[in-house]
Structure 1
Amino acid sequence: MTLNTQRDSKETLRRRASTPIPSSHQSGPRQKDGPADPHHPPLGQSASYHPGDKTILSRVNWSSDSEDSDSSGADCLYRVVLLGDHGVGKSSLANIFAGIQEKDANEHIGEDTHERTLTVDGEETTLIVMDTWETEKQEEDEKWVQDYCMQVGNAYVIVYSITDRSSFESASELRIQLRRIRQAENIPIILVGNKSDLVRCREVAVEEGRACAVVFDCKFIETSASLHHNVNELFEGIVRQIRLRRDSKETNERRRSIYKRKESITKKARRFLDRLVAKNNKKMALKVRSKSCHDLSVL
């Protein structure tokens, strides 16, 4: 994955330090029967979108039901929301995405929203990663902030620590909440087991993470923010998962062919045999599905 420092030669990279708070939340809860909140940006638009901003509107326009869009060469912008318990490594993953070095992390405390343009499979996509799930505000404020996070993401990363079983259980609950709130939407959700380098302290096995992903119909990957292991693969996978839901079958097949060229012959052969056996064996089909849950290049 390439993290570009510029969108093009004329426009420099931007980093958003915080997510704007809709004014309706500041003055109290929204009326149930009232009009839609004009400050709540629709899916596929920047968190900093304001009504009438035709520049953002023209750049960002994604519906998961679209079958005819082709993003080749397009400048696409999507929000990725990090969810999970305190201390699981959400901010560390966000800082790596933002290119913030560990030694400089203290200087960036309070910067909870970051924007980067990624080049994946030869095409550019801009992600806004939101690490706004936890707040230092009062409990009432935290509740509506979390409700807001559940509604505005184009993709979700649910993080738990492999050294903390309670965080794994919380991750399962978050997946259930997302299914309830966004049940009619085909949004990418990736379950992430962080701190994979702490082998001796492991409380959640890899197989448990995969099984959870299969049950809750999401993707799975283990990372180590401290070693930068699989972090690039995670954000590349998010881009691929968004594209798979957004673009036409033909466009995705072309991208898939590019991705497959990079695979080893052994991996290709193993995948072919797994699919062949799974056709006549339901148990094997479930096993294959469990294996594919960590392949972020397929649905």
Structure 2
Amino acid sequence: MRPLSMSGNFLLAPIPEASSDCLLPKDIKLAVLGSGRVGKSAMIVRFLTKRFIGDYEPNTDKLYSRLVCVEGDQLSLQIQDTPGCVQVQGSLLQAADSLSKCMQWAEGFVLVYSITDYSSYQSIRPLHQHIRRVHPDAKAPVIIVGNKGDLLHARQVPTQDGLQLASELGSLFLEISTSENYEDVCDVFQHLCKEVSKLHSLGGERRRSSAIPRPRSPHMQDLKRRFKQALSSKVKSPSALG
């Protein structure tokens, strides 16, 4: 089941290095968060290389970079992998300082759990709440991903639970198998790249509009014109009398 549908209008492929006389590509900063052994690193590497590397989970943060083209725009995509040291006590997230800094740095987020590990699913809500505390304007796009969709025999998290959680949090949801479906993995990063790029465009439009003086109302311009005419007639009247 794939509740998140994609239009297929994206091209995420390596592009030539920009020459010195070209504008530098915009930065798109994404972070992949979740518990350990849910397939975060495997998702990133599969997206960047099309190769599946199993349940490889590094114990330290790693930043991946790649030049991509999204709807004709050249972008510098940066994806921050994070260690799976996420501890949840009740509904509270015990986040390391490095994780909080990563949330401050990133502009879009992938929250990953494994459908074979219910505890990893339970960490998604506190992670999402922590993101919204770091980004209180609620503009940073978030996608919730239920990974390892091929391991149906070991499923602990029903698809409906993922859909319901995403609906409650106002996020998109996609259940995927990193090992079996490269296109699903691409859908996740394609959508986030597009959403973050939209935020950049909106921010640029706001900055441009603030630099343009607000046009005067026609009524005010008419009043000033009539005032100048009246003043001019008063200056001319003495000479006419002489």
Structure-2-length-normalised TM-score: 0.65
Go from structure 1 to structure 2 and tell me whether the alpha carbon gap of 1:96 and 1:2 turns closer, same or farther (over 3 Å shift).
farther
Structure 2 match to 1:242: 196
Go from structure 1 to structure 2 and tell me whether the alpha carbon gap of 1:245 and 1:161 turns closer, same or farther (over 3 Å shift).
same
Q: Output one character per residue of 1:16-56: Cα deviation in whole Å (capped at 9) or x when no partner.
A: xxxxxxxxxxxxxxxxxxxxxxxxxxxxxxxxxxxxxxxxx
* Aligned 8 A contact 1:158 1:171 in 2: yes
* Aligned 8 A contact 2:114 2:148 in 1: yes
Structure 1 match to 2:97: 144
Would you say 1:232 and 2:241 are equivalent positions? Answer: no
Task: Output aligned runs, 1:204-215, within 5 Å.
Answer: 204-215=157-168
Q: CA deviation at 1:246?
A: 3.1
Would you say 1:158 and 2:111 are equivalent positions? Answer: yes
For the aligned residue pairs, the C-alpha RMSD in angstroms reads: 3.0
Go from structure 1 to structure 2 and tell me whether the alpha carbon gap of 1:213 and 1:157 turns closer, same or farther (over 3 Å shift).
same
Show structure 1 runs of 4+ deviating over 2 A.
Answer: 1-11, 100-106, 108-111, 117-126, 132-135, 243-248
* Aligned 8 A contact 2:117 2:156 in 1: yes
Task: Output aligned runs, 1:90-129, within 5 Å.
Answer: 90-99=40-49, 101-102=51-52, 112-129=62-79
Larger strand proportion, structure 1 or 2? 2
Structure 1: 5+ residue stretches without partners? 12-57, 60-74, 136-141, 252-299
Q: In structure 2, what is the Cα distance between the partners aligned to 1:145 and 1:88?
A: 19
Go from structure 1 to structure 2 and tell me whether the alpha carbon gap of 1:104 and 1:183 turns closer, same or farther (over 3 Å shift).
closer
Go from structure 1 to structure 2 and tell me whether the alpha carbon gap of 1:76 and 1:144 turns closer, same or farther (over 3 Å shift).
same
Indicate the SS of the match to 2:113.
Answer: strand
* Aligned 8 A contact 1:83 1:159 in 2: yes
Which shifted more, 1-10 or 209-218? 1-10
Indicate the SS of the match to 1:230.
Answer: helix
Q: In structure 2, what is the Cα distance between the partners aligned to 1:209 and 1:241?
A: 21
Structure-1-length-normalised TM-score: 0.54
Would you say 1:203 and 2:156 are equivalent positions? Answer: yes
Structure 2 match to 1:168: 121
Q: Output one character per residue of 1:186-211: Cα deviation in whole Å (capped at 9) or x when no partner.
A: 11111111111112222222222121
Structure 1 match to 2:230: none
Structure 2 match to 1:292: none
Structure 2 match to 1:78: 28
Q: In structure 2, what is the Cα distance between the partners aligned to 1:124 and 1:188?
A: 20
Q: Which of 160, 183, 187 in structure 1 is aligned with 2:140?
A: 187
Q: CA deviation at 1:124?
A: 2.8
Structure 2 match to 1:4: 13
Q: In structure 2, what is the Cα distance between the partners aligned to 1:121 and 1:241?
A: 12
Go from structure 1 to structure 2 and tell me whether the alpha carbon gap of 1:169 and 1:109 turns closer, same or farther (over 3 Å shift).
closer
Q: CA deviation at 1:229?
A: 4.7
Q: Output one character per residue of 1:46-75: Cα deviation in whole Å (capped at 9) or x when no partner.
A: xxxxxxxxxxxx84xxxxxxxxxxxxxxx2
Q: In structure 2, what is the Cα distance between the partners aligned to 1:182 and 1:222?
A: 25
Q: In structure 2, what is the Cα distance between the partners aligned to 1:191 and 1:95?
A: 18
Q: CA deviation at 1:10?
A: 5.0
Indicate the SS of the match to 1:208.
Answer: helix
Structure 1 match to 2:38: 88
Q: Which amino acid aligns with 1:245?
A: L
Which shifted more, 118-127 or 83-92? 118-127
Indicate the SS of the match to 1:86.
Answer: coil
